[in-house]
Amino acid sequence: MNQFPDDELSDVKPTQKTTTAQTATAAATKTKQVVEEDLDEPQPKAAAAGGHAGKGNPPAAADEDDLDVDFGDEKLATRPNMLNRCRPDKGKAVRFALLPFIKPKSALNHFVELPGKKLTVRCLTPPNSTEAGYCCAKLGKDGELHVAALVLRYLNADLKTGGYEKGATIEWEVQYVDLTRSNYRAVSHLIDEMVEDNPNVNVYDIDIVMKHDPDRAFGYQFQRISQKARWKQNPQLVEEVKLAAEKFTKDDGKILKGRLGKKMNLQEWKALLAGVSAGAEEARLDDVEDL
Ligand SMILES: [Zn+2]
């Protein structure tokens, strides 16, 4: 999969300017803010899975006949270009920092559930268009906006709070977060209070904790857990992270874009939905014709 042609995915920038309205929102959500941590001196330590960039792959021609492997080889067990999704299990928290090496990508998509098949497919409706594409009409539902952003996930942060003990060594992996429109808005507002003191601050400067929203059946809530992203405090770690992120930032983030859904043209959409009865709009029209 993932061999979608380059496309017109819009780069998105989390909003940074604070308006009075936004400040009000920030104040309203302030009660939910977790206690922020004091930063101590974190030591870099890449996680076994995906933490290190695949440096030093031997040339293909070298040692072609040596095919021996051992069980328990972490490198072999992990797909080399695997970009895992950063999200918490129910009742748990994950801690992450947005990575500044590539802009987040956004697109409309549909989650399609068919007998024996579940997949996310990019919507045919162009951004900002009022005319629904074939997919939206057939499914009776507009495509949903998603933003995919590259993050550093802290693998060994506290599973309940996202916190770290003083002096703890960071284990990490480059992953991505899939943000809905409201998630995107929430993340953008996490720095509102900080902007008042420092207009240059941005969302890439902080550490974020993501949890399931206890007030809703589904959905996530986002909190700022540190005004300074831990991984940025150690220059050596910054270099390691940069290197590990390269495979996801190359080709204008081809792998990251792929996480926004499979790209299909009209014919492919028609084939996919061939067995699906018409969506709400079309069904209503059919009813009218039947009268
Ligand atoms: Zn659509």
pLDDT one-digit tens code per residue, 87-129:
999 899 999 999 999 999 999 999 999 888 899 999 999 877 8
Neighbours of ion ligand 1 (CB under 5 A): 123, 125, 133, 135-136, 143
pLDDT single digits (tens) 251-291: 999 999 999 999 999 999 999 998 776 554 444 444 444 33
Mean pLDDT of 38-62: 48
Longest distance between any two alpha carbons in the chain, whole Å:
74
Measured CA to CA, the distance from residue 157 to residue 207 in angstroms comes to: 11
CA 92 to ligand 1 center in whole angstroms: 33
Output the CA 263–ligand 1 centroid distance in Å.
11
Q: How far is the CA of 28 from the centre of ligand 1 (A)?
A: 35
pLDDT of the residue at 35? 63
Helix, strand, coil abundance in the chain, percent, nearest 5: 30, 20, 50
- C-alpha 204/C-alpha 181 separation (Å) is 18
Distance 82 CA to ligand 1 centre (A): 27
- Read off the tokens for 45: 């330590």
Tell me the CA–centroid distance for residue 137 and ligand 1, in Å: 7
Per-residue model confidence (pLDDT) at position 63: 56
Distance 269 CA to ligand 1 centre (A): 10
Distance 144 CA to ligand 1 centre (A): 8
Q: How far is the CA of 12 from the centre of ligand 1 (A)?
A: 20
User: pLDDT band for position 214 (50/70/90)?
Assistant: confident
Rg (CA), the chain: 22
Tens-place pLDDT, residues 54-86: 444 545 555 568 888 888 877 777 666 789 999
What's the mean per-residue pLDDT of the chain?
81
CA-closest candidate to residue 97, choices 164, 187, 37, 161: 187
pLDDT value at position 49?
Answer: 43
Do residues 164 and 196 touch, judged by C-beta distance below 8 A?
no
* Residue 1 pLDDT class (50, 70, 90 cuts): very low
d(CA 177, CA 150): 7
Measured in Å, residue 232 CA sits from the centre of ligand 1 at: 39
Q: Is the dihedral of CA 24, 26, 30, 36 positive or negative?
A: negative
